[in-house]
Amino acid sequence: MTFTPVPPSGDQHEISLGEQRAVVASVGGGLRTYDVGGAAVLDGYAVDAMADGARAQTLVPWPNRVKDGAWTWQGEAMQLAITEPEQHNAIHGLVRWLPWRVVEQTATALSLDCISYPQPGYPWPLQVRNDYVLDEGGLTTGTTITNLGASAAPVAAGFHPYQSVGTDLIDDALLHLPADTWLPTGEQQIPTGREPVEGSPYDFRSPRPIGAIELDYTYTDLHRDDDGRFQLRLSRPDGSRAATFWLGPAYGYVEIFTGHALPEANRRRRGLGVEPMTVPPNGLATGESVVVVEPGESWQGEWGIRPE
């Protein structure tokens, strides 16, 4: 019998339309790659590698961090596993390393789901489904979280893709980030308050080069268009390539990460982490913007990328 090793990211599922091509991995249900005409729109990872830096992973039932993994629900103390030991936090939810199964697939669309069963610190079973669709406007990612349990479940969601426009480092790219507020953080990268971007180094409401700034902060008070979409644009200095990253109304926060802290030196500042989030960091503990989903009911949200 010939032995074939299993790729660290599991099964690979490809969809395409014209020059667009996306590959979704069954581990974590996230985008491993997305490119147009062979040029990367997302800074992904190789088929024989794990998703370093949480690349494009699904972050449910919370994104970002829960301080010390501790939170309270209806008067009951909860303790999540500490999955970021260096800062003593629970980070990025419960489904990012789970196996996902294909529910539906066509040439241009793919749906996968997984079930997160109750565990210490989060005693609700959830079904999480991701729907990826390619059309002439780019890639849309829709997520549905269904409460399979017998009691109301607090939920939050996020994603962790890294955007690229092909510059060697993101330092050279121009960023347009129309948001009025950023969240400073203290130890353990937990927010200590809110500050206006006005007059700060973190103001990208007018397009400008990212430069050497180190960002790992959440933005909110997002400017939205008539459809309720927030739109962030990354472009090359000469304008030859650009992509707009949009968030639907369900996502009220976006974490921007310049990749400077990644442990792999050759991965640092190669892509811009643009992380849609329904809650701010530590949201599960503070309760800010957490959605309560009744038994048998669902929450839905979407985001997407429009290459130019």
The Cα–Cα gap between 65 and 6 comes to 30
Question: pLDDT for 45-89, tens place per residue?
Answer: 999 999 999 999 999 999 999 999 999 999 999 999 999 999 999
Question: pLDDT for 136-182, tens place per residue?
Answer: 999 999 999 999 999 999 999 999 999 999 999 999 999 999 999 99
pLDDT surpassing 90 at residue 39: yes
Mean pLDDT of the chain: 97
Count of other CB atoms within 10 angstroms of residue 261: 11
Residue 1 is predicted with a pLDDT of 79
The answer for residues whose C-beta is within 8 angstroms of residue 159's C-beta and 6 or more apart is 30, 56, 57, 58, 59, 63, 141, 143, 275, 276, 303
Residue 238 is predicted with a pLDDT of 94
Residue 44 is predicted with a pLDDT of 97
pLDDT surpassing 90 at residue 211: yes
Q: Any bridge partners for residue 256, and if so which?
A: 217, 274
Task: Give the architecture (CATH level 2) of 12-160+173-206+219-307.
Answer: Distorted Sandwich (2.70)
Question: Counting beta carbons within 10 angstroms of the beta carbon of residue 123, is it exposed (0 to 12), middle (13 to 18) or buried (19 or more)?
Answer: middle
Global pTM value: 0.96
Count of other CB atoms within 10 angstroms of residue 25: 27
Residue 31 is predicted with a pLDDT of 97
Question: Counting beta carbons within 10 angstroms of the beta carbon of residue 47, is it exposed (0 to 12), middle (13 to 18) or buried (19 or more)?
Answer: middle
The radius of gyration of the chain from alpha carbons, rounded to an integer in Å, stands at 19
Count of other CB atoms within 10 angstroms of residue 92: 24
- Domain spans, the chain: 12-160+173-206+219-307
Question: pLDDT for 269-293, tens place per residue?
Answer: 999 999 999 999 999 999 999 999 9
